[in-house]
Chains A and B, each alone.
Chain A
Amino acid sequence: MDAMIQYYMEETEDMLQKAEECLIRLEMEYSSTDVNELFRIAHTIKGSSQMVGYEDIGDIMHKIEDMLDGARNNSILFDQSIVSLCFKGLDMVKKMLQHKKEQGSQEMMDDFINDATRIKEMIEAFIRANKKGGEKNATEESAKGIVSSLLNKKPKGKNRFYITFFIEEDAPMVSPVFMMILKTIGEIGNLVYSSIGDSYFSELSRDNEIRTFDIILCTDIEEAELYTYFALSYVERINIVDLSRSKLEENDYCFSNGDDISYIIILRVFMKLYNMLFNESKELNISKEELSTIESLYLEAANACGRMKDKNKISTFIRDFNELFLHILKMCDDQWNAEEDFCSNIRTQMVELTERAYNYTKGKHLFRVFKAKKTDFVNRLRNFMDMVDKASTLIILIDLSSLDILGETEVKALIEMKRQMEFHGIETGVIVDGYDARKIINIFDSIKPLEEFHLFKTELDAILGVLYSQDSFHRIMNKIKDVQYK
């Protein structure tokens, strides 16, 4: 290796290390010294990279330098997004540097350059959006070329989904919503097809009548998780068709986003009833007051069903739901003669209806699913937690089935996450299954005195287990007790 390049490599690695230290401090608290130091490092790396002919590294450092310059002279407001963009950018530079050092393949380098371009675009968009006086055209400008850049990326990821986004009727502007969707796509995979092109964003008289957006997405993310990624404002609902496995029938969703409140009310009624009828004592002993409570619960739930947007789609659900209540009332009326079979039948029916309702809403609204993978567990979990809508989510399911073991950092992250979620009134259920599950169960078992996790074998078990368990009952109820129609 050329002596100059060698010197450059060593110097740059040193500076990147220092930059990271600055960023870690900045993550904790703002200091102008650290911002200045970062700026100086970015400036130096930019210059030296250009000098040795590494334009690609020089370019991305240039963008970081611009952003830091803005933060330094107060033309953009300093916030944590700057820190995270810097982390992203420096991480990319590190990868590129390492690749150059090892003289890796051009193909891989092209991938890195593509990723670096995405980061540069994000920084540009950030600068434009946050520059004082320059907010207005942010979305339009940064949208330029985003569709083609996503389409031109080499398809990666084992899953392929056809996704249709339905935008709410009362969304004031559609293009920013599409833009947000495209940005999210950039973070999790790439496009194979898009029903709108780049021209959509640049045309002055754009067609604001478009209310749906179709894409084919290539990604490693699982279907159940995608709903969390695309839980954006003004997106009314999302239809996902799994092209890799053509699981069409499973996508037959029924509850849409707008039905959230109705669904919470039905759920609340179910939980109260279950608690009243089955949890407290095995013997059925319904007093007159309780009977009238049951009747008013029924009315509440029936009203909620009546307010669902698309009643045709959930007509069978409503029918079975009515039938269940008739049975319950009959059972209460006739409680002294009620046979054991009849009671357990009602219990089964309730569980079944909850299951069905869960399948309609799976991963979409109230229940969020995180599927752990062997690599990058902690970061993925943190990103997921950041994205989850804390206000509307009731239960988070962490699926660990594809792991063989949990490490120290993973366990710590899980405990931290569980406590954080409990603070927001969100219950956590853990799914572990398979032969290797024992090792994971042993770990959870031994940390019980520190933090107790509820473990289940399947998603459904977990949902039912959490919904109908005594200790979760009060916490979930507390969270949803005030939900009602205004």
Chain B
Amino acid sequence: MKYKYKVLIVDEDENILYDIKKLLEQETYVVETTQSAMEAFEKVKKDKYHIVLVDTDFHEMNGIELLKEIKRYDALTQVIMMSGHSTMEKILNSLEYGANDYILKPFRSMDHVIGVIDYSVQKLERWRKSIIEIVK
């Protein structure tokens, strides 16, 4: 992949952060992680992230709150929500608030995770190409 996409993963579970980071780095994504939703929002304000993976449950800040803040700040960022089976309602809620996709936990397979992220990348890629086409 010639164009490097930046991904931020936000989850309280350290293992998940580690697994996805490793996986995405193999696919040449630039990856950052954080366990805190507040910190995640600060990061989004400071840097450009193309994709943010957000867990729906945090102690300090609701995952949906974070989603809303990110979308308000940068509508183009692809936000992918991650949630357990028991909280399907949360996923539906977050899609209503502008989440671009969701991944259920525990992950069906790592290929599935990659598939969801790649789908977002394709969307960004299409958008980017059309802008370049216009500017050319």
Contacts and interface: CB of A to CB of B under 8 A. Distances in A.
Do A and B come together as binding partners?
A: yes
Interface of A: 408, 411-412, 415, 435, 438, 441-443, 445-450
Contacts of A442: 48, 74, 76
A447 B73 contact: no
Shortest Cβ-Cβ A-B pairs, 5 listed: A446-B128, A438-B74, A446-B131, A442-B76, A411-B135
A448 B135 CA distance: 12
A458 to B, nearest CB: 13
Interface of B: 2-3, 48, 50, 73-76, 127-128, 131-132, 134-136
5 contacts: A411-B135, A435-B73, A445-B50, A448-B3, A449-B128
B74 A446 contact: no
Nearest to B125: A446
B64 to A, nearest CB: 20
Given A435-B73, A438-B73, A442-B74, A447 B48 contact: no
B135 A445 contact: no
Contacts of B50: 445
B132 A446 contact: yes
| Residue among A415, A435, A438, A441 with the highest chain B CB neighbour number at 10 A | A438
B76 A449 contact: no
Nearest to B131: A446
A435 B69 CA distance: 12
A446 B136 contact: no
Contacts of A438: 73-76
Contact of B3 (A408, A412, A441, A449): A449
Contacts of A435: 73
Contacts of B136: 450
A448 to B, nearest CB: 7
Interface class of chain A by DSSP: helix
Contacts of A445: 48, 50
B46 to A, nearest CB: 9
A26 to B, nearest CB: 28
B48 A446 contact: no
B135 A447 contact: yes
Nearest to B73: A438
A435 B73 CA distance: 7
A447 B135 CA distance: 8
Nearest to B5: A445
B132 A450 contact: yes
A438 B44 CA distance: 10
B135 A441 contact: no
Contacts of B74: 438, 441-442
Given A438-B73, A441-B48, A446-B127, A415 B135 contact: yes
A446 B127 CA distance: 8
A442 to B, nearest CB: 5
Nearest to B127: A446
Contacts of B3: 448-449
Contacts of B76: 438, 442
A413 to B, nearest CB: 10
A445 B128 CA distance: 9
Nearest to A449: B3
Nearest to B44: A438
Nearest to A412: B135
A412 B135 CA distance: 6
A411 B132 CA distance: 10
A376 B107 CA distance: 52
A438 B76 CA distance: 9
A63 B2 CA distance: 58
A335 B56 CA distance: 50
A52 to B, nearest CB: 45
A157 B131 CA distance: 36
Given A435-B73, A438-B73, A450 B135 contact: yes
A484 to B, nearest CB: 41
A249 B131 CA distance: 45
Contacts of A441: 48, 74
B131 A443 contact: yes
Contacts of A450: 132, 135-136
